[in-house]
Chain A
Amino acid sequence: MMSSPSNHLPSLRRLFSSRNYNPEERWRKQYRVIEEKNDVFRAYITVFPKPVVERSFRRKVLRGISFGVKDVFHIKGYPTTAGSKLLSNMVSSRTAAVVSRIIEAGGAVNGKTNLHEFAFGVSNINPFYGACLNPYDTSRVSGGSSGGSAVAVALGMCDVGLGTDTAGSVRVPAAFCGVVGFKPTSGHLSTDGVIPLSWSMDHVGILSRSVWETILVYSVLVGKPLKPAEIRPLSLERLRIGVPRNYFLDLLDRHVEEAFEKGLKTLEQKGAVLEEVVVENVEKAARCRSVIAFAEAAAYHLRLSRGRLSEYGQDVRDRIVRGLAIPAAAYLNALRARKKLMREFEKIFTKIDVLATPTTLIPAHRVDEENVEIEGRLISVREASLKNTEPFNLYGAPAISIPAGNTPQGLPIGVQLVGPRGEDMKLLRIALAVEKAFTASS
C-alpha cells in the first residue's frame, strides 16, 4: 500500500545549533513513532527501553543525535542476533569500535535494526524477524541488508542509521527508502566488533536524512570531528563528473533512467563538466565479488553452522553451501582479478573527480518478486539491486547514494556518486552540493 513516510521531525541541520534543540524531546517523539509503526515496518529487532548515551552528551559534538544500529554491531549487555535464529539468545560482551566512538562523542543509540539474515542478501525479507517493508509502499521491500536502518531513518525513528555494506547493503536500501547512504573507503571505519559477512569487502556505512548528518557523523568516526559551520559544499563549477557509458547504464528501469538523466542535466547547469568514461572489464566484477564474498562467508560460517544448518533461512543456507563449493584457485584468481579491476578504476579517476551512476537499476521491487522485467528482459532482483554498487566494494572506493526524485508512483530513486580511494571528505562535500542542486530542481 502506498504511503508517505511522514518523517515530521524538524531537520537536524537547521535545529542542531539553535536553542530550540531539545534531544530528550526528540527521542520521545522517535520512540512514539517506533511504538506506532514498528509492528508494520519491522525496522527494529530490539528497541532499547531508553537510549544508550553518556551522561555528559550535551557537551559533546554529537549532542544526543539518535542512532539505530544494524544488529550486527555488538553493544555490551544487549542482544546481537545478526537477524538469525542461531544467535537469538546471544548477549554481547563488548561494544563495536564505531559504536563506542559514537557514544563517547555524545550519540544516543535507541536500538538494533533489522537486516537480511547475517547481512547475506539484499531484500531484507527476514524469515525470523519479519520482512522489513518499504516506507513508501508496504507491498515493497526496504532493500538490504541494512534496510532496518534505512527505514528507521526515513520514518523518523532515529536521526542516523549505522549499517554495513559488502555489495551495496547501505546504498541500496538508501536508494529504495529515499535517504542518504554512504560507504567510505575500505578500512577507514573499523569493523572491530561487527559480525562479518566477507572480511575483505565489508564496510561500515552511514544512513541519514541528508548529507549534512553523514558528514558530521563520518568526521566523528574518523577522529576529526567537524563543527557544524565547517560542513560546507564544494563548488560544482568545473567539477569533472564521469558518466560511464558501458555496463552501469546498459539496462535501466525507464523512471530510473529519466531521473538520472535529469540529475545530470541539473549538475551540468550548475557548471559541472560531464565526461564519458568506459570501465574496462567491469562486467566481471559481479563474478569476482561473489566468489570472494561467498568463499569468505562460508569460511566464517563453518564455525556456526556445524550441525545447525537447518536453522538458517533457506536462501542463506544455500549461499553458504555454494560458498563451500568454491575451489581455492577460483578464490585466489578472484583476488587477482580484483587487483586488475582496481587498477582500471585508478586510471579512470586520474581524469575525473567523481563517477555518477544510478544506485540501482530499479526502484524498490515487490516483496513477492524474484525477477523483474526491464526492456523485455527478465533479470533477478538481486542483480537489479546490486549491479551498480558491487564494483565499488571490490575497488574499496568511497560511494554515496543520494535521493534523486521519485517515480510517478512515488517510489524513491537514488543516484550514486563514487570518488577515488581515500578522498572521502571531498566526495562528501561534492555530495552536499549535488544534494542541494537536486533539491532546488525538484
Chain B
Amino acid sequence: MLEREAKILSLAGLSGEDVHQLFRQALDKNLEILAELLELVEDDEQPF
C-alpha cells in the first residue's frame, strides 16, 4: 500500500510524511463517503 500510495503521490510531484498522512486520512474519509453514496444509489437500476 505504501509503495502504491507513493506512486500516486509522485505523479503529482508529492512527497513527504505530512502529505502521505493527509492522503491516507482522505482515502479513509472517501471510503466512508463511498458507502454513503452507495446507499443513495442502491435502488437505481439504470445508473448511466
Residue positions of A touching B, CB distance < 8 A? 281, 284, 287-288, 291, 298, 301-302, 305-309, 318, 320-322, 324-327, 329-330, 333-337, 339-340
Q: What mask results when residues 1 to 17 of chain B are scored 1 for a CB within 8 Å of chain A, else 0?
A: 00000001101111000
Q: Which residues of A contact B26 (CB under 8 A)?
A: 321-322, 324-326
Write 25 A-B pairs (CB below 8 A) sorted by A numbering. A287-B33, A287-B36, A291-B30, A301-B12, A306-B12, A306-B13, A309-B12, A318-B22, A320-B12, A321-B14, A321-B22, A321-B23, A322-B26, A322-B29, A324-B9, A324-B12, A325-B26, A327-B31, A333-B34, A333-B41, A336-B37, A337-B40, A337-B41, A339-B44, A340-B40
Report Cα–Cα, A340/B40, bound state, in Å.
8
Interface residues of B, CB < 8 Å — how many? 25
Among all A-B residue pairs, the 8 with the closest Cβ atoms: A325-B26, A307-B13, A306-B13, A322-B26, A330-B34, A333-B37, A325-B27, A336-B47
In the bound complex, residues from chain B placing their C-beta under 8 Å from that of A325 are 23-24, 26-27, 30
Chain B at the A interface: SS class: helix
Cβ of B11: which chain A residues have Cβ within 8 Å of it?
Answer: 302, 306
User: Apart from A281-B40, A333-B37, A337-B40, what are 13 other A-B pairs with CB-CB below 8 Å?
Assistant: A291-B33, A291-B37, A298-B12, A305-B13, A306-B11, A309-B19, A324-B8, A325-B24, A330-B31, A330-B33, A337-B37, A337-B41, A339-B44
Min CB distance A299 to B, Å, is 10
Which one of B37, B38, B41 has the greatest number of beta carbons of chain A within 10 Å?
B37
Residues of A contacting B12 with CB < 8 Å?
298, 301-302, 305-306, 309, 320-321, 324
**A306 to B37 CA separation, bound complex (whole angstroms):** 31
Q: Which chain B residues lie closer than 8 Å to A334 at the CB level?
A: 37
Q: Chain A residues near B9 (CB, 8 Å)?
A: 321, 324
How far, in whole Å, are A353 and B14 apart by their CA atoms in the complex? 49
Residues of A within 8 A of B23 (CB): 321, 324-325
Select B37's contact among A301, A308, A318, A330, beta carbons within 8 Å: A330
Chain A residues with CB under 8 A of B14:
305, 309, 321, 324
A320–B36 Cα gap in the complex (Å)?
A: 22
